[in-house]
Structure 1
């Protein structure tokens, strides 16, 4: 094995894997300063990443990849390969040069802002026309924001909502285009199979609930994995039915896609679109519009990337620094048989992976224990897409 190096060599990278996918694996351990092989910002981050992935199999888009230290201690950029007047900088900076080829629709500053603001605070946008095509300079507040945008949007080409000149007018169409690009980029350029991105209905009807164990907060814990929750109402005349209003149609579509048929408290959920456009504010409707537990108020792109159907593995964050595996197990093991656990640290913050015997047990643990207090901390729980630990 090579000596520890800031440069990491990754094998078995398929043609469908983009730079953004590799960044997602390594960025929890520190800033990535170059991508060719892949160079971390410093040696400590590189060692931490490989120590972690020596016990957890890294996987990108369902393909196992393999990491080792490179024999290179540093990656260098060959300026001559691009010519002296190349627009490609040798080092990342907070200003992006964006070139749009084969532009089918007018692109305005507003559209660009809608797309790029998802990755950070955009300070300035300047657009111009060059021989290479329509171009823009986009300046972020920080280097990391610019790198996140580059990793997610470089090479992006597939919008999910067609340009429309319907009665909503041009401005609405531009906004739709920008949001479409942001969402598609979050999923690596292609939406999950079966998700269209065109649904506009925000309210869902959920049926076949276990009336002895379910309540609005438990439904919130589950459905908030796929978007922000506005209101939830359990129907008093049909207590095994509930209405769930999501913040927008795309988030509602994700919830339908991933939760239809999921098993919760020994009941197979039915999740469909409701005939009601929204839930009217009323004493029997729980309002979550101002809840700090809504997950999509920040890190929107990251949260979309982590959307998945219920799995056997849950990820727990916001843990106390002195927490032990035994304390975590005592908190969640009442919900099923725990197969394996792993307590680890990312950027100085304690996190855990808990693998249950079944998806149903993991789902019960998530809906029952998300946002509960553990040794004074309000913990956060989501499903993990890792297959084993």
Structure 2
């Protein structure tokens, strides 16, 4: 059989099955079903998911369907794997992987794809080294971290906790300086958490171009002893995080790690998602999986050469010195990477490295600008006066293009003060989907005027928050904030009451294509709607009747083109327009045409 297809094993490629099958509780099985994979997921990446839990027996990939089946050699390994990844969401190139037990207890077929065999062999080679000592009776839960090339940056227990906590519960952290090098000891609740963190963070950079991590299991197997807490050590059991610290941690969660193998990443939290992230230092030579659950967003632009980044860094450092601006080396490297990345986001054919005059303009903006975007505040090494609006217009995202992710928000929004008798998941999916790809919606069972909305990335969530917070829907003013939750959990099948839905595989996502024109047409809610994909057989009267059938009176109408494929429809209020968009977007007009609706910036 082919490694890219697996019809006999029934990987649930049917769209209707996908919507019903997320986290369906089945009998525990040695076979783990993985879904919502990117189509370019490699065999090595998928095999790596099973390494911390035990030996792999077999694997089948259906890349076209974005699904895989992994058979572990023991049932216990599979149970631990599913349990862990349900608690700690794993993301591969911006897509949240969904894992559950397969209905198959054993994989009868073996793929003819040699890459699968190699991936299983390499993965099992790592497992057999028993790096965490699980087979010796006393598993090691303590990681030893060495931080190289710090370039003047501060390293303390807070920084390490922010980086490592997303892989498991941390009990204690101790940092110290030895032979002029920063060391850290991080104790996790169990060895699996530590193992996953080691696999994913070894070789990563804390900041772009500096503070690279070397992560291994420590000879000190714990428990660590913290006698006097300070900025170098903390016992998180005796002194748990405060509410304020938890809020700051959630703001940080969207990502801050860069690849140690990249020639220069984007600034701390400022790169678009979806690019490949490499990680080095894998235990077995040749095992270099890409992008597994790495913090979103810190990747070098794929076509920007190391030499180009280095030249740009040197120019920027020289200009900063000439202008008397105090930039740390790390801030210079981060700024250079950001400028190269944003230059690539401009029109095709634009230079990939900004010119010297633009560098000077950026420095002028750094010196005199005011903060317009929180993600840029690190560029001056924490000093006042970060990047202002002028610099963003020169070097930031082109007008209408998708901006870099903002790390001050998560991917989940909490929406309150909804009309509890009228709200339903599809309504929120459609409305919030105007500003980003909504992957899950959950209406609270005990508080039905409140819902959680999860997006594909933090920037989309931020955009929706900015445009929709304070808008009226069904006569009530929506209140929106970033949620403390990192992911919207799906219910058990037997407890599903229709209040939670998964849309991760929906074909109605507006931003599935990286260069979609929808990025150029994101506007705040308006009483004027933009209609598109109108077939030539549909008249103005047909559209007016369509709106009237749902109870909406059209107060103004105009076709925008001679071929009448697009039109503007005016309603009596923004609230009414929002309701009309919810009700009528994707309405089937003819056999092959579905109506597309968004908010308009124009008047009728």
Whether 1:205 aligns to 2:205 is no
What aligned pairs does 1:88-167 form with structure 2 within 5 A after superposition? 108=263, 127-128=307-308, 129=311, 146=348, 161-162=375-376
Between the aligned partners of 1:275 and 1:123, the Cα distance in structure 2 is 33
Aligned to 2:432: 223
Aligned to 1:249: 458
Aligned to 2:572: 357
Higher strand fraction (1 or 2) = 1
Q: CA offsets per residue over residues 12-42 of structure 1, 9 Å max, x none?
A: xxxxxxxxxxxxxxxxxxxxxxxxxxxxxxx
CA gap of 1:314–1:275, structure 2 versus 1, over 3 A, is same
How far off its partner does 1:116 sit? Answer: 12
Whether 1:378 aligns to 2:594 is yes
Between the aligned partners of 1:305 and 1:339, the Cα distance in structure 2 is 27
Between the aligned partners of 1:264 and 1:277, the Cα distance in structure 2 is 26
Aligned to 1:45: none
How far off its partner does 1:117 sit? Answer: 9.6
TM-score, normalising length: structure 2: 0.36
What aligned pairs does 1:301-380 form with structure 2 within 5 A after superposition? 302-333=517-548, 334-345=550-561, 350-376=565-591, 377-380=593-596
Aligned partners of 2:273 and 2:405 also within 8 Å? no
For this pair of structures, how many residues does the alignment match?
253
How far off its partner does 1:286 sit? Answer: 0.4
CA gap of 1:255–1:183, structure 2 versus 1, over 3 A, is farther
How far off its partner does 1:275 sit? Answer: 2.0
Structure ID, larger Rg: 2
Aligned to 2:368: none
Q: CA offsets per residue over residues 63-118 of structure 1, 9 Å max, x none?
A: xxxxxxxxxxxxxxxxxxxxxxxxxxxxxxxxxxxxxxxxxx86947659x77999
Between the aligned partners of 1:267 and 1:295, the Cα distance in structure 2 is 26
Between the aligned partners of 1:336 and 1:312, the Cα distance in structure 2 is 12
TM-score, normalising length: structure 1: 0.54
How far off its partner does 1:382 sit? Answer: 0.5
Unaligned runs of 5+ in 1: 1-104, 139-143, 166-179
CA gap of 1:227–1:115, structure 2 versus 1, over 3 A, is closer
How far off its partner does 1:300 sit? Answer: 5.1
Between the aligned partners of 2:411 and 2:402, the Cα distance in structure 1 is 22
- Find the residue that maps to 1:297 and give its secondary structure: coil
Q: Aligned match of 1:295 in 506, 510, 517?
A: 510
Root-mean-square deviation over aligned CA pairs: 4.3
How far off its partner does 1:281 sit? Answer: 2.2
Aligned to 2:369: none
Unaligned runs of 5+ in 2: 1-207, 210-261, 276-300, 317-335, 341-345, 366-372, 380-391
Between the aligned partners of 1:345 and 1:327, the Cα distance in structure 2 is 17
- Find the residue that maps to 1:360 and give its secondary structure: helix
Aligned partners of 2:554 and 2:571 also within 8 Å? yes
How far off its partner does 1:183 sit? Answer: 11
Between the aligned partners of 1:267 and 1:332, the Cα distance in structure 2 is 22
CA gap of 1:163–1:223, structure 2 versus 1, over 3 A, is same
CA gap of 1:220–1:160, structure 2 versus 1, over 3 A, is same
Aligned partners of 2:400 and 2:521 also within 8 Å? no
How far off its partner does 1:337 sit? Answer: 3.2
Aligned partners of 1:187 and 1:304 also within 8 Å? no
How far off its partner does 1:302 sit? Answer: 4.0
How far off its partner does 1:356 sit? Answer: 1.3
Aligned to 2:397: 185
CA gap of 1:300–1:209, structure 2 versus 1, over 3 A, is farther
Q: CA offsets per residue over residues 317-347 of structure 1, 9 Å max, x none?
A: 122122111111111234433221112338x
Between the aligned partners of 1:189 and 1:212, the Cα distance in structure 2 is 37
